[in-house]
Amino acid sequence: MKVAVAGAGAFGTALAISISATGPVTLWLRDAGEAEKLDTTRENARRLPGARLPDSITVSSDARALAEADVLLLAVPMQKLRGFLQDHRAQLAGRTLVACCKGIELETGQGPQDVIADVLPGSPLALLTGPGFARDIAIGLPTAMTLACADAPLGEVLQERLSSVTLRLYRSTDVTGAALGGALKNVVAIACGAAIGAGLGESARAALMTRGNAEMTRLAARRGADPATLSGLSGFGDLVLTCTSEQSRNYRLGLSLGQGDGFDPAVTVEGAATARAMDSAARAAGDDMPITAVVAALVENRLDVPQAMRHLLSRSLKEE
Ligand SMILES: NC(=O)C1=CN([C@@H]2O[C@H](COP(=O)(O)OP(=O)(O)OC[C@H]3O[C@@H](n4cnc5c(N)ncnc54)[C@H](OP(=O)(O)O)[C@@H]3O)[C@@H](O)[C@H]2O)C=CC1
Ligand SMILES: O=C(CO)COP(=O)(O)O
């Protein structure tokens, strides 16, 4: 089975390194100059400095490399996924597509699996998500993630090929639940970073994580997901990681909002657009998503952190 990773950002590079331990893999990136540099230096100095590319990784910017793969891991940011699929529709047709991004498309409210089905209907697809920082995966620290695939036999094949000695993949057939967990934990991480950045304390963070988890689970269940998925790696697991570590870009954006600092707009922070997309969808559907609503307001500068916290605390008292 020929495997390629599309997108040589931090995560795509880390996945290629991990998968190369058990077989050859192609790492595809769109920029020919960057591809040449990466191939020569064998280090992604821009996105994942310090991690060496093993010889079993072939670097390419040639779109034909996409067409040659049986399985393609899509490691581009959520808001760029549709454009990537449209640009390479011909090469991607017939391939098994594994979405590795976490988020909800701002314009449509769709998750990665829906965007793939929209652009390339009928493509066999899966989702790779869960708690794992690119750097940890790249240097071989122990990591467990979720491989979600509605087609159970295909899920088993992918789980077998994409797992390694240090990257342990658990299978699920609940693609909706896994996708929503991965998307929404980033929103809660922004809220937690904002609380810590504003000096509101660890108790506030614990409250946000717990009520955020309740919000994620409620929404996922309403959309047909198994609530148990949200207690697993792709939900609770990733929520814990992202809400407690400064390695997380979503958490760091929250910290900067709480501290009143600027944040580099070039950094990939999926939770910002996802909060806005989910807030609109929740309002339209009459769903109660208070943490998502305040994060959307924070990233749109409609509220500051003290106002956001006052808003959450002044809601009517209820049963847990
Ligand atoms: N980093 C991490 O620890 C983890 C990330 N993820 C998820 O993986 C996804 C990607 O994140 P990450 O790798 O960190 O992001 P980065 O910002 O590090 O990299 C994004 C990559 O996507 C490429 N890209 C953007 N648009 C396109 C396009 N239209 N066509 C081709 N390539 C494109 C960029 O290329 P260029 O350099 O040319 O702009 C860049 O290489 C996100 O959804 C994230 O949530 C999931 C788990 C862990
Ligand atoms: O999803 C991640 C870890 O599981 C990475 O989180 P950030 O995108 O916030 O850096």
Q: Which of 2, 37, 80, 185 is catalytic?
A: 185
Task: Please state whether the predicted TM-score (pTM) of the whole model is above 0.80.
Answer: yes
**Domain termination residue (choose one: 152, 173, 194):** 173
Q: Is 185 annotated in the active site?
A: yes
Residue 118 structural domain: 3-173
Task: Determine the pLDDT at residue 21.
Answer: 95
Task: Determine the pLDDT at residue 26.
Answer: 98
**Domain termination residue (choose one: 173, 198, 215):** 173
Beta-bridged to residue 96, according to DSSP, are 71
Task: Determine the pLDDT at residue 303.
Answer: 96
Number of structural domains the chain divides into = 2
Instruction: Tell me if 185 is assigned to a ligand binding site.
Output: yes
Distance CA(51)–CA(92), nearest Å, equals: 28
User: What CATH number has the domain bearing residue 247?
Assistant: 1.10.1040.10
Task: Determine the pLDDT at residue 120.
Answer: 98
Instruction: Tell me if 130 is assigned to a ligand binding site.
Output: yes
Considering only CA atoms, which of 199, 149, 145 is closest in space to residue 168?
145
Q: How far is CA 89 from CA 12, 93, 212, 248, 287, in A?
A: 20, 6, 37, 32, 35
Task: Determine the pLDDT at residue 67.
Answer: 97
Q: What is the mean pLDDT of each run of 10 residues along the chain (320 residues)?
A: 98 98 97 98 97 98 97 98 98 97 98 98 98 98 98 98 97 98 98 98 98 98 97 98 98 97 96 98 96 98 96 94
Task: Determine the pLDDT at residue 210.
Answer: 98
**Domain termination residue (choose one: 141, 173, 205):** 173
- 3-state DSSP call for residue 270? helix
Least distant ligand from the CA of 27: 1
With respect to residue 178, please indicate whether it lies within any of the assigned structural domains: no
102 Cβ closer than 6 Å to some ligand 2 atom: yes
> Model ipTM?
0.99
Beta-bridged to residue 71, according to DSSP, are 3, 96
Same domain, yes or no: 161 and 204: no
Same domain, yes or no: 278 and 304: yes
> Which ranges in the chain belong to alpha helices (H)?
10-19, 32-41, 64-67, 78-87, 89-92, 112-119, 134-138, 152-162, 175-197, 202-222, 238-244, 249-259, 270-285, 290-299, 305-313
146 Cβ closer than 6 Å to some ligand 2 atom: no
With respect to residue 179, please indicate whether it lies within any of the assigned structural domains: no
With respect to residue 319, please indicate whether it lies within any of the assigned structural domains: no
Task: Determine the pLDDT at residue 302.
Answer: 97
